[in-house]
Structure 1
Amino acid sequence: MNVQVTYEGTPLLVERATWSGDVTQAARKLDVSLVNTVDGRTQAMRIEHGKELRLLYDGRELFRGVVFAHRIDDRGMMTVTAYDENTYLTRNYDTRKFTKMTASAIIKRLCNDFGIPVGSIADTGYVIPKLVLRDKSIWDMMTIALTYSRKQTGRRFFIYSREGRLYLSERKDAVVRWVLENGRNITSASYSQSIEDMRTQVKVIGGDPEKKPIIATAKNDALIKRFGIMQHIENVDPDMTRSQVEQRAKQLLAELGTVDDDAQVDALGNPEVVAGAAVYVRESMTGIVGGFYVSTDSHTFANGNHTMSLTLSATDDLPTLEYEPPPEPKQRKRSKGDTDNGG
């Protein structure tokens, strides 16, 4: 294992590097600790905000990002924090209206308008009738559009950064390539399960709620028999057709009718096992057995060792954000003194 961190192309004398990510966050993060002095009195290198850090693993680039914070003490010990380019998605806010556009087209437009370089952008397919988004970050706008599309089609897409560019890819059934097991590469583990957020029945309301509502209900009889009725209700875009409302109800039930489980695993490091990846786990005491998605990861490189701490889930916990249409402006009633010309 050969790990190297460079600042603007110059290798740093790093004592510790922590590379981390979360499927619900826009950007991955790199924290490094280094000795930034040669004589104990002055800095060997001036680290500037906005400059580039890269993390290389056996010559392959794992991370490319921008310095956002640094700190140094009187002994020359320095810490530097960088985020990949997708951090700018959370640092730009705007108000936008999108009409009859796919989520992928919305993402392309936002990237173009805010000068964010893009790689390949997968076609999400579904044309969203209308989105009015006020005072939202670019990340929230993209997440709302992807959530809206996923609820209609069931297709999952995720955003990530590679070599300074934004990519959008479809999350299909993940192929498990890595196995974690006690006695081999797991160093510690814990496991929990909960039905706190489970819903066994779903009601979706569309159309005009006062004159001609469209109501679709979906329920899981097996879950109701086992856990009782726990209903989720959701109001959707009034322009959606009956078939779209019914599809939304089915998709919501599939997502909400599950047992939440959470596994924490510490293991020997593998640079391929990051947030969004799939792993197979066998741990005898906790009973963790089967395929899981990585929700969060934190990789630590120090003293020639590579370890990782993972949060695992049986479900693919991609970020979601519900669309809430802004309230329609109320029409002011005309009084007898009103005239068409304002006079």
Structure 2
Amino acid sequence: MLPKFHYEVRFQKPGKQALRLPFSEATWSGSRQEAKRTLAVKTNNGRDRFWPDVNVDEGDLIQLISFLSGTPRSLFTGMIVDLGRTAKGDINAVAYDFGFYLLNNDVVMVSTGEAADQLLKRIFAQHGIPVGGIGAMPAVEKQVIRGKSVWDAVVDVLNQVFRSTGVRYWCWVDQGKIYVGTQRGQTIQWKVQQGSNLLNAERKRSIADMRTVVRVVGSDSEYISVLHDEVDSINAKRYGHLVKVIEIQDEDRGNKIMVAKQELQNLNRVKEQALVTSLGIDDVIAGTKIEVYEEITKLQGVFTVFGDSHTIRPGYHEMKLDLQMEVNGK
């Protein structure tokens, strides 16, 4: 039995009451690599006198609300940033959630080599961005951050942590607050499977981004000194020498082997991805985990959702998920 999908889109002008916005289609999407989640709404304001007047403008607040559980639940709140109209009366409104402010504010800051979580808190505090939660993280290199957006500065810091520890941290916005962690929280382990809610599945393996050699060089601008080469001889023989060069500061030269080993571990792998299309689940968005079972592609395991796109029409909800396999996936 199919779920009884029921959604509403509402918009609100400053100081005014929220109004229902009739729509033909809404696409709600996001990715772990994007600062913001997006809501794209298709509606119409043509010559039909029985159709409600659609008086939306850029800057209006917009919400996507689900009634699937019987009570209203806000899935998205954001601001209309793009608004298109056609001669037929079609209106295409695109809204971003509050991750928009991470992209449109630049950072000027000096890092003294403090812990990454403390640096991130200073970056967010500089622009008054509320923090929901940031766990303890190791120290990062001394640096001057100038002219980068908040989002780009945060991504740089998290990449430094990943290169030194092999632990991937992510940044996301939830209910207007910033969170940084290894995994987005969830209370239910959702499942999609053939014969039930799964509509389609694809799977691929790729070595396009693989590296089999990591070469560590010094930071001297006058000449290049190769400090260490870390090689996976088995994969280098099979796939060839695929070299990644990384530069380290003088004070980090003592850690050159450890840095090279960690970087090679991060890059010397076959990347595996899966794409699935299924009936929509409100809670399944980028950063959550989902269990998948499909016989032909042999997708059997728990995956992390890397990117999602939910298409919602009156009475219908479909989602497309870009997945990355977890350790227990097969």
- Structures share a fold, TM > 0.5? yes
How has the CA–CA distance of structure 1 residues 140 and 269 changed in structure 2, closer, same or farther, with 3 Å as cutoff?
Answer: same
1:55 paired with 2:64, answer yes
Partner of 1:181: 193
Partner of 1:7: 11
Cα deviation code 1:66-95 (max 9, x no counterpart): 110122345543221110111122222344
Distance in 2 (alpha carbons) for counterparts of 1:238 and 1:315: 36
Distance in 2 (alpha carbons) for counterparts of 1:248 and 1:315: 24
Indicate the SS of the match to 1:144.
Answer: helix
Moved more, 194-203 or 88-97: 88-97
Amino acid at match of 2:291: Y
Partner of 2:174: 162
Contact kept, 8 Å, 1:180 with 1:186, in 2: the verdict is: yes
Partner of 1:284: 295
1:111 paired with 2:115, answer no
How has the CA–CA distance of structure 1 residues 251 and 57 changed in structure 2, closer, same or farther, with 3 Å as cutoff?
Answer: farther
CA apart distance, 1:45: 4.4
Distance in 1 (alpha carbons) for counterparts of 2:84 and 2:224: 61
Indicate the SS of the match to 2:251.
Answer: coil
CA apart distance, 1:47: 1.7
Give the number of equivalent residue pairs.
314
CA apart distance, 1:27: 0.5
Contact kept, 8 Å, 1:208 with 1:214, in 2: the verdict is: no
Partner of 1:91: 104
Distance in 2 (alpha carbons) for counterparts of 1:64 and 1:248: 41
2:213 corresponds, among 192, 201, 205, to 201
CA apart distance, 1:109: 2.0
1:219 paired with 2:214, answer no
How has the CA–CA distance of structure 1 residues 96 and 129 changed in structure 2, closer, same or farther, with 3 Å as cutoff?
Answer: same
1:261 paired with 2:265, answer no
Contact kept, 8 Å, 1:201 with 1:220, in 2: the verdict is: yes
Larger Rg computed on CA atoms: 1
CA apart distance, 1:19: 0.3
Distance in 1 (alpha carbons) for counterparts of 2:249 and 2:304: 32
How has the CA–CA distance of structure 1 residues 40 and 66 changed in structure 2, closer, same or farther, with 3 Å as cutoff?
Answer: same
Contact kept, 8 Å, 2:130 with 2:176, in 1: the verdict is: yes
Partner of 1:149: 161
Contact kept, 8 Å, 2:107 with 2:123, in 1: the verdict is: no
Partner of 1:24: 33
Contact kept, 8 Å, 1:155 with 1:171, in 2: the verdict is: no
Contact kept, 8 Å, 1:52 with 1:64, in 2: the verdict is: yes
1:296 corresponds, among 275, 297, 307, to 307
Cα deviation code 1:104-162 (max 9, x no counterpart): 223222222223233222222x2223122343222111110111122112222211111
CA apart distance, 1:51: 2.4
Indicate the SS of the match to 2:296.
Answer: coil
Partner of 2:15: none
Contact kept, 8 Å, 2:42 with 2:92, in 1: the verdict is: yes
CA apart distance, 1:57: 1.9
Partner of 2:248: 236
How has the CA–CA distance of structure 1 residues 3 and 183 changed in structure 2, closer, same or farther, with 3 Å as cutoff?
Answer: same
Unaligned runs of 5+ in 1: 317-343
Distance in 1 (alpha carbons) for counterparts of 2:219 and 2:212: 24
Indicate the SS of the match to 1:239.
Answer: helix
Distance in 2 (alpha carbons) for counterparts of 1:208 and 1:172: 40
Distance in 1 (alpha carbons) for counterparts of 2:184 and 2:82: 36
Distance in 1 (alpha carbons) for counterparts of 2:141 and 2:307: 33
Cα deviation code 1:261-293 (max 9, x no counterpart): 232221111122212222233323333333332
RMSD of aligned alpha carbons: 3.1
Distance in 1 (alpha carbons) for counterparts of 2:225 and 2:237: 29
Partner of 1:323: none
Indicate the SS of the match to 1:249.
Answer: helix
Q: Quote the sequence identity (%).
A: 30
Contact kept, 8 Å, 2:217 with 2:224, in 1: the verdict is: no
Cα deviation code 1:50-77 (max 9, x no counterpart): 2211222232222111110122345543
Amino acid at match of 2:22: L
Moved more, 16-25 or 275-284: 275-284
Partner of 1:330: none
Indicate the SS of the match to 1:171.
Answer: coil
2:80 corresponds, among 63, 67, 70, to 67
